[in-house]
């Protein structure tokens, strides 16, 4: 009788190793290995930069049976598996997964194999859970819900890993020695120069975040700057920072939808940094038309956002980003603005001539954010406080190069 559990355990180990052999090729394991719940190593015991840790016999089932990135992401969120070592290395496996056979027969065979291991514990969503927005996509009310889901998790959370100005977009690293604060200051200054700002002008920042750009423009370029956001916590902190800096007469941040801005007085310059992804393809004509109406004759509009290549295929079904990070977010082909711009009698050639890329700097910036977030709790300069930061109990510790951090089950 005592041997039965051991036999079952051996069978579950063998099932998992068989699945790993079928799902991942040998080339995919150059930098990433797997450790099972009982300590078994796959494909061998050779040390690697990163190790995927399967927490229970049904881990692979939870990760892959749904066949979606949402299911894989939730398996990580709810501790079916973890990552030790350099977590960025694990993303190399994404390429291996893309190259998997796509025949229906192969998928059915894998699905059958995934049903053999026992199911893990039922995922219980915490207070946050998946985004559940109501109303028609990209209406003012639904956009407000989407922004609240992403940003209203407390200013303290974002202050843990952003720069001191809390600029939430790619930074401008001029040298490898630039720290994040310096790189973000370069970015703000580059934007102001591109807008050709000078004293006395009126600037509108659409989707201004915590007000870093409007404060920089008012302080260093002498403009009267207004920032709009849909996040009340952002506006509250931005207003407090503006007051502390003695800039209340020169700049302000208010909660307002871009479609509701009154353009009676007009603006000499408009800027939108990192908000373009929230607009949506269907709303581009409205977005650019409003910008056109708000600009004074001869005014300048700088639109900064994440785009995709026209040939990039869209993902079928819900994505992890839309479900847990940026609900209703859309990246559109970089050529998409040409159509609404033409309808406004603007030269599409002017748009294309002014397009510039910062993709390499984005990668450096993301790495800087990750490095800041992954610092041990004791080294945080602005630890969570009672002013709204998450106080949920720690769920587990995530290991990484240089230390570890606790994650929370909200």
- Ranked by mean pLDDT, the top range of 127-136, 162-171, 304-313 is 162-171
Which band of pLDDT confidence, cut at 50, 70 and 90, is reported for residue 126? low
pLDDT class of 248 with cuts at 50, 70, 90: very high
Average pLDDT of the residues of the chain: 83
Q: What is the CA radius of gyration of the chain?
A: 24
Q: What is the arithmetic mean of pLDDT over 204-232?
A: 98
Q: Calculate ∠ Cα 191-194-198, nearest 5°.
A: 95
Instruction: Say yes or no to pLDDT of 148 above 90.
Output: yes
380: confidence class by pLDDT, cuts 50, 70, 90:
very low
Task: Please state, in angstroms and rounded to a whole number, the distance separating the CA atoms of residues 197 and 326.
Answer: 32
Domains, the chain: 3-114 (3.30.1050), 140-364 (3.40.50.150)
| pLDDT at residue 97, rounded to an integer | 77
The residue whose two tokens read 């016999």 is 57
Rounded average pLDDT over 26-41: 90
> Where does the pLDDT of residue 346 fall: very low under 50, low under 70, confident under 90, or very high at 90 and above?
low
| Predicted model pTM | 0.81
Q: Is 409 exposed, middle or buried (0-12, 13-18, 19+ CB in 10 A)?
A: middle
Kindly report which listed range (52-61, 270-279, 300-309) carries the lowest average pLDDT score: 300-309
| Weakest-pLDDT range from 82-96, 140-154, 188-202 | 82-96
pLDDT of residue 94: 78
For the chain, give the number of residues. 410
Average pLDDT over residues 51-75: 93
Kindly tell me if the per-residue pLDDT of 407 is higher than 50.
no
Percent of the chain exceeding pLDDT 70 equals 77
Residue 231, classified by CB atoms within 10 Å of its CB into exposed (0-12), middle (13-18) or buried (19+), is: buried
């Amino acid at each position: 009788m005592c041997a039965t559990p051991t036999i079952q355990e051996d069978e579950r180990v063998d099932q998992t190793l068989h699945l790993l052999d079928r799902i991942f090729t040998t080339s995919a394991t150059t930098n990433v290995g797997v450790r099972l719940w009982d300590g078994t190593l796959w494909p061998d015991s050779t040390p690697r930069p990163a190790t995927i840790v399967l927490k229970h016999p049904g881990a692979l089932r939870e990760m892959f049976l749904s066949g979606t990135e949402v299911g894989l992401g939730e398996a990580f969120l709810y501790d079916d598996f973890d990552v030790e070592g350099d977590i960025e290395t694990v993303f190399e496996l994404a390429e291996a997964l893309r190259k998997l056979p796509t025949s229906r027969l192969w998928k059915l065979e894998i699905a059958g194999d995934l049903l053999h291991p026992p199911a893990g514990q039922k995922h219980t969503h915490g207070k946050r859970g998946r985004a559940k927005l109501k109303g028609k996509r990209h209406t003012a009310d639904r956009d407000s819900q989407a922004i609240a889901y992403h940003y209203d998790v407390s200013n303290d959370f974002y202050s843990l890993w952003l720069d001191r100005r809390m600029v939430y977009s790619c930074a401008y690293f001029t040298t490898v020695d630039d720290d994040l604060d310096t790189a973000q200051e370069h970015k703000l200054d580059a934007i102001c120069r591109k807008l050709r700002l000078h004293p006395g002008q009126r600037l509108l920042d659409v989707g201004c975040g915590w007000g870093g750009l409007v404060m920089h423009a008012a302080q260093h370029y002498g403009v009267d700057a207004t920032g709009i956001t849909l996040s009340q916590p952002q506006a509250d902190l931005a207003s407090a920072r503006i007051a502390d800096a003695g800039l209340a007469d020169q700049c302000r941040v208010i909660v307002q939808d871009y479609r509701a801005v009154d353009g009676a007085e007009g603006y000499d310059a408009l800027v939108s940094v990192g908000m373009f992804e929230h607009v949506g393809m269907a709303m581009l004509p409205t977005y650019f038309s409003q910008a056109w109406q708000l600009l004074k004759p001869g005014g300048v509009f700088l639109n900064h956002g994440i785009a995709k290549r026209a040939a990039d295929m869209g993902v079928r079904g819900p994505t992890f980003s839309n479900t847990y990070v940026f609900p209703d977010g859309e990246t559109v082909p970089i050529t998409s603005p040409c159509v609404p711009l033409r309808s406004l009698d603007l030269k599409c050639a002017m748009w294309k001539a002014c397009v510039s890329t910062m993709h390499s700097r984005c990668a450096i910036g993301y790495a800087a954010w990750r490095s800041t977030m992954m610092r041990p709790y004791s080294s945080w300069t602005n630890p969570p406080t009672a002013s709204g930061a998450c106080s949920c109990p720690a769920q587990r510790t995530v290991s990484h190069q240089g230390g570890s951090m606790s994650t929370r089950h909200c």
